């Protein structure tokens, strides 16, 4: 079973995503902030990371770059998730990171989430 790590401080979103991903055949783990997410990513070595852009402490770009800097997490694909407007300039900043694989806007279509996960990591 593939593990997906969700690094997001939005408890409503993470609860829905964990339940939906479990029904879709994935193991989903949650980290409520960037520092915890980095630690969990290094320990779990998930197949995919869903990463919130705006979080207290470390923001999404900081976490994305830290994931890229560790050998054991550098190859993990990352989908960014945000409820804020995500313009072309922001997209190009994230797209410079090799592990960035796409963006999902909140409220997230769980079906789109599943499809993107399957496209990136299979089932």
User: Following DSSP, what letter does each residue of the chain receive, concatenated?
Assistant: --EEEEE-S-HHHHHHHHHHHHHTT-EEEEESSHHHHHHHHHHH--SEEEEESS-SSS-HHHHHHHHHHSTTTTT--EEEEESS---HHHHHHHHTSTTEEEEEESSPPHHHHHHHHHHHH--
The predicted-structure confidence for 46-68, as pLDDT tens digits, reads as follows 999 999 988 888 988 899 999 99
b/e burial code for range 85-102 (CB count within 10 A of at least 16 → b): ebeeebeeebeeeebbbb
Structure-model confidence comparison of residues 89 and 105, the more confident one: 105
Q: How far apart are the first and last CA of the chain?
A: 7
Considering its fold, how many domains does the chain have in total? 1
In degrees, rounded to 5, the angle at the alpha carbon of residue 85 between the alpha carbons of residues 84 and 89 is 125
Range of the domain at 40: 3-121
Look at residue 88 in the predicted model and tell me its pLDDT.
63
Give the separation between CA 82 and CA 27, rounded to whole angstroms: 22
Provide the token pair at 47. Answer: 């197949």
State the pLDDT confidence band at 37, using cuts at 50, 70 and 90.
very high
Write down the pTM of the prediction: 0.93
* 29 against 96, higher pLDDT: 29
CATH number at residue 82: 3.40.50.2300
């Amino acid at each position: 079973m593939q593990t997906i790590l969700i690094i997001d401080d939005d408890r409503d979103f993470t609860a829905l995503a964990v339940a939906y991903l479990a029904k879709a055949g994935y193991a989903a783990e949650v980290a409520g902030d960037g520092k915890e997410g980095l630690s969990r990513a290094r320990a779990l070595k998930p197949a995919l990371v869903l990463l919130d852009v705006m979080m207290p402490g470390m923001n999404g770009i900081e976490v994305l770059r830290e994931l890229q800097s560790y050998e054991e997490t550098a190859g993990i694909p990352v989908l960014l998730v945000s409820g804020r407007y995500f313009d072309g300039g922001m997209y190009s900043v994230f797209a410079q990171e090799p592990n960035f694989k796409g963006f999902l806007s909140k409220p997230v279509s769980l079906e789109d989430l599943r499809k993107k996960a399957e496209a990136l990591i299979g089932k």
